[in-house]
Chain A
């Protein structure tokens, strides 16, 4: 089942000179896909995820999510889509500073309209954070924060997980675990699009792609 489809997506940035990270992106993401997007740093991989996550509007082309044209959705509709169907794992560690780890997960789950404290505890256990549940983000190490963000991306059972360098800050054991958990999600029908510059981890994906000169191509 198709979750989302990008057709001829074009995105420019104007920062003194015009930078075009996405020139002509075409990609169809289906339920259960585990897509790895490789490419050197600064090539536009994160920009692709922001467009797919409806956080950034493309300048040209069409993007459809669950059959809906994203360009035609208003802010509330896009917010609802993100709350219910998309899970983000950002490159930088971003969490709500005034909430503990458990509260962060509960809050994100609440935004999507779900209430399942048991699932929160299960995810904390899955990512080895059960003893850090009542810690604030600033009290966690970089690796712990990364795992916490992954738990948050999964908390509302999204249809699409967008993972930006998910193994950053993680040791070998937790990097392997992270990939295993993401893969496990795809077996449940969730699609994962992971961007990385490390080919070791992209080998676990079912589809490997490279972003170069603003164009996606299969490896």
Chain B
């Protein structure tokens, strides 16, 4: 029976190709939409779970957005006086706070990522942001000659010497994925990065008559349990300290609502394409059953049972759908990297959570969808063909 199924497919090439193409395109769109949706959702879930800080204090008049700050690794050279940290210690409801100092890579070197990347100088003593994601070898902090990289960098760099702004550092750790800009950031000891700002010819221009050691970029704040974040923002505003407050939860929620609208539109478009595909396939399989009515009558006459005729048509359509599903999934997964990259640019999202496991899941879902699609579209024609009166099929086959 499988021989007949395969020969019906392979020897009716144009028709089979059309069916496979319809399924392929539908599955491709589905896998891409599903992949993007899962990536975004998991990224946001990871961000919520792993961001660590409830609020970020930034320089009062900087125009940086929460999305840029948290979800991209775009270099942001924002600074405020270091005494803001001391002022902030007077705020109530704070469980922990830690300063960070921002700079950026510029020059290419043998081990350089090749693009401008954010460097964050962090304070090992007060840090609570990186600590949960660091290996044992750097849990106690790093020396001025060491650095830690985000998950987005190549694993091969671990243990290498890495040149940043003319100074060589040893890569001693790599973070777990966070779904935030941290994934594409380089972390140094804060005083070491402040020294580097004075040593680097390019960065030095920003620090004429200023000492980087007297500045910080942001303060990451963890609130005590039960403290209302909105009330904390109000407290910061009213306290008169020289900083503005961004709530990370608000930023994530705002990004999530933007993405939800986009995802809804994408799903609606995909649902429309699915409907078109189903209608096309139902039409194709109806035509297939009609044009082979006489042949089906013959099959019944030579002894095929109703169930076997049903199995023959379902087997044929599901095989074509399976081929379309596998190819569609493969093509979609090949296209995912550029799509995720586009998404990252458009939504300022760090999509480092697009993993092999997620790819396999999306691919399998695509194949399952294809087989379901083939089965559902062929069900009515297959049932009709199987229950057809053999004599009528033979004698009326050419008329209908």
Contacts and interface: CB of A to CB of B under 8 A. Distances in A.
Interface of A: 46, 50, 53, 55-56, 75-76, 79-80, 82-84, 88, 90, 92, 94-99, 103, 107-108, 111-112, 136, 152
Given A96-B4, A98-B4, A98-B7, A79 B394 contact: no
B304 A88 contact: no
B123 to A, nearest CB: 74
Given A55-B394, A98-B12, A82 B301 contact: yes
B305 A97 contact: no
Interface stretch (B138-146, B148-156, B169-177, B291-299): B291-299
B305 A96 contact: no
Given A97-B295, A98-B7, A90 B394 contact: yes
A49 to B, nearest CB: 10
A107 B292 CA distance: 17
B305 A79 contact: yes
A80 B303 contact: yes
Contacts of B390: 55
Contact of A103 (B7, B306, B391): B7
Contact of B394 (A84, A92, A97): A92
B303 A79 contact: yes
27 contacts: A53-B301, A56-B389, A75-B305, A79-B300, A79-B305, A80-B303, A82-B301, A84-B303, A90-B298, A90-B301, A92-B294, A92-B394, A92-B398, A94-B294, A94-B297, A94-B397, A95-B295, A95-B298, A97-B292, A98-B7, A98-B12, A99-B4, A99-B7, A103-B3, A107-B3, A108-B302, A111-B304
Contacts of A90: 298, 301, 394
A112 B303 contact: yes
Interface of B: 3-4, 7-8, 11-12, 292, 294-295, 297-307, 389-391, 394-395, 397-398
B394 A83 contact: no
Contact of B304 (A79, A94, A97, A99): A79
B399 to A, nearest CB: 11
Nearest to A155: B302
Nearest to B7: A98
B159 to A, nearest CB: 60
Contact of B4 (A55, A84, A107): A107
B303 A94 contact: no
Contact of A94 (B3, B4, B295, B306): B295
A9 to B, nearest CB: 14
A107 B307 CA distance: 17
Contacts, number: 69
A97 B294 CA distance: 11
Given A95-B298, A98-B11, A99-B7, A76 B394 contact: no
Contacts of A79: 300, 303-306
B49 to A, nearest CB: 56
Given A76-B305, A76-B307, A107-B3, 15 more contacts: A55-B390, A55-B391, A56-B389, A56-B391, A79-B300, A79-B305, A79-B306, A80-B303, A83-B302, A90-B301, A94-B297, A95-B295, A96-B4, A103-B3, A111-B303
Contacts of A92: 294, 394, 398
B4 A83 contact: no
Contacts of A50: 391
B311 to A, nearest CB: 13
Nearest to A76: B305
Q: Which of B11, B301, B302, B304 has the most CB of A within 10 A?
A: B302
Contacts of B7: 98-99, 103
B291 to A, nearest CB: 10
B292 to A, nearest CB: 8
Nearest to B398: A92
Contacts of A112: 303
Q: List 10 A-B pairs, minimum CB-CB distance, nearest first.
A: A83-B303, A55-B391, A56-B391, A98-B11, A79-B305, A50-B391, A94-B298, A98-B8, A111-B303, A98-B7
B89 to A, nearest CB: 81
B295 A55 contact: no
A98 B11 CA distance: 6
A214 B287 CA distance: 37
A23 B164 CA distance: 101
A83 B299 CA distance: 10
A95 B307 CA distance: 20
A137 to B, nearest CB: 10
Nearest to B393: A55
Contacts of B297: 94
B107 to A, nearest CB: 65
Contacts of B300: 55, 79, 82
Contacts of B395: 46
A100 to B, nearest CB: 9
